[in-house]
Amino acid sequence: MTDTTAWLQDQPHEIIERDGIRYTVLGTAHVSARSAEIVRELIRTGAYDGVAVELDANRLQAMQDPDRMARTDLVQVIREGKTALFAAHLALSAYQRRMAEKLQIEPGAELIAAVNAANEMGLPVTLIDRDIGVTFKRTSQALGWWDRAKLSSGLLAGIVTDEDISDDDIERLKEGDVLEASFNEFAAESPIIYQHVIAERDEYMACALREMQGPRNVLAVIGAGHLQGMSEHLRTDTSAPEPRRLALSETKPKSNIPWMTIILAVFLAGGFAIGFAQGGYQVGSELILRYVLFAMAGGALGALAAGGHPLSILGGALSSPLTPLHPALASGTVSALIEAWIRKPTHADFMALRQDVQTIGGWWRNRVARTLVNFFLTSLGTAVGVWAATARMIGQLVS
């Protein structure tokens, strides 16, 4: 066997043998040119017959094809309800861009180096990380509404801020994980986020390694923050790996019964009915008119604040009263769809997206970013209008 001691001696790593397979688990720094060099040289020694990397298919494609985002069908993203996930991807990309500008190296360069070197040597490459979309979704579903709001605001701040990356951020990324670092300090304060972003992925990647078929001497290239946890799972787990990995990929399906919609619809209908019963046609119709006007005004003002096209503003306004009653007619979705259809983002908009979202003005100048702003501000405006109308209704009925 080719001696790899010289390359591994100063690097954090674990060598684990089980089930007739020798795993060399290398903990790398995601922002270190030295880590990328060591990975390349280790693979070129010919000591390994298989390589595993801490990537999923989507992240690998994004790193290999930086122009991939420019081919995104934004209308389809909105229709499929993936607007929030798209924004989360954007936040991660923005964070990585700032880190690359600071250090003159793309975070995760050693992972791409491992893939390229393995391809050069004709070695099979296994992507062992969980899909980033699944990780975001499982994390979001596990949080309460307040923590979800904090996480969303943290991601948004990560997109719009243009402040310099601190030395502490760099050291944290050297010893940790790109996803964890992109959540900033909120991840450190939240055991739930740590569980889903780090601990679950440790176990998931250990399962994926145990499922590898063929190679008997595997080099696994992962971030240093996963080295201890993943190695422990790889060394001690005894359950069948595939069922457990699939369980760690499950997300809660949306309820077939829209309870919040039903509750709000019943509440509004009950309020209108009480108004008609107590004050007759005049009071009942006044409550309905006020609700419609408040909701329409909120949606319209949100779309207007987003710089929406007049038809986007109109669509947001007209759909706002129906938003609490039918999720498919959500004002933010309707307004954003109209915006993306009328002001279709160009290739140049997608290419300039990472740069434009670093400034407030860039969000309104870039058509991709402005569509996202339209979605969120229209939805926010509608929510404010509906709750204001509801509060006025309650006040009038109890007075």
b vs e for 340-370, b when ≥16 Cβ sit within 10 Å of the residue's Cβ? Answer: bbebebeeebbebbbebbbeeebbbebbbbb
pLDDT greater than 80 at residue 358: no
The highest-confidence range among 69-83, 144-158, 316-330, 360-374, by mean pLDDT, is 360-374
| DSSP string for 141-194 | HHS-HHHHHHHHHHHHHHHH--PPPPHHHHHHHHHS-HHHHHTTTHHHH-HHHH
- Residue 99 in tokens: 């880190």
**C-alpha–C-alpha distance, residues 47 and 294, integer Å:** 69
| DSSP string for 324-389 | TT-GGG-HHHHHHHHHHHHTPPPHHHHHTHHHHTTSHHHHHHSHHHHHHHHHHHHHHHHHHHHHHH
Task: Using DSSP, state whether 221 is helix, strand or coil.
Answer: strand
pLDDT greater than 70 at residue 100: no
| Beta carbons of 338 and 311 less than 8 angstroms apart | yes
pLDDT score of 161: 53
pLDDT score of 185: 47
pLDDT score of 231: 94
What digits encode the pLDDT tens for the residues 35-54?
888 899 999 999 999 999 99
- Residue 320 in tokens: 């706002």
Q: Which residues contact 300 (CB under 8 A, 6 or more apart)?
A: 313, 314, 316, 317, 320, 381
What digits encode the pLDDT tens for the residues 106-160?
667 888 999 999 999 999 999 999 988 888 888 888 877 667 666 666 665 555 5
In angstroms, the Cα distances linking 309 to 239, 328, 340, 342 are 56, 21, 10, 8
pLDDT greater than 80 at residue 379: yes
pLDDT score of 43: 94
| Beta carbons of 208 and 54 less than 8 angstroms apart | no
**C-alpha–C-alpha distance, residues 14 and 37, integer Å:** 19
pLDDT greater than 80 at residue 244: yes
What digits encode the pLDDT tens for the residues 181-193?
555 444 555 677 7
DSSP state for residue 127 in the 8-state scheme: E
Tell which wins on pLDDT, 44 or 173. 44
pLDDT score of 172: 53
pLDDT score of 235: 95
| Beta carbons of 133 and 86 less than 8 angstroms apart | no
With bands split at pLDDT 50, 70 and 90, how would you rate the model's confidence at 309? very high
DSSP state for residue 198 in the 8-state scheme: I
pLDDT score of 257: 62
Domain boundaries of the chain, sorted by first residue: 5-247, 259-398
The highest-confidence range among 104-108, 265-269, 315-319, by mean pLDDT, is 315-319
- Average pLDDT for residues 341-356, to the nearest whole number? 80
| Beta carbons of 123 and 45 less than 8 angstroms apart | no
What digits encode the pLDDT tens for the residues 12-35?
899 999 999 999 999 887 666 788
Please state, rounded to an integer, the average pLDDT across all residues of the chain: 81
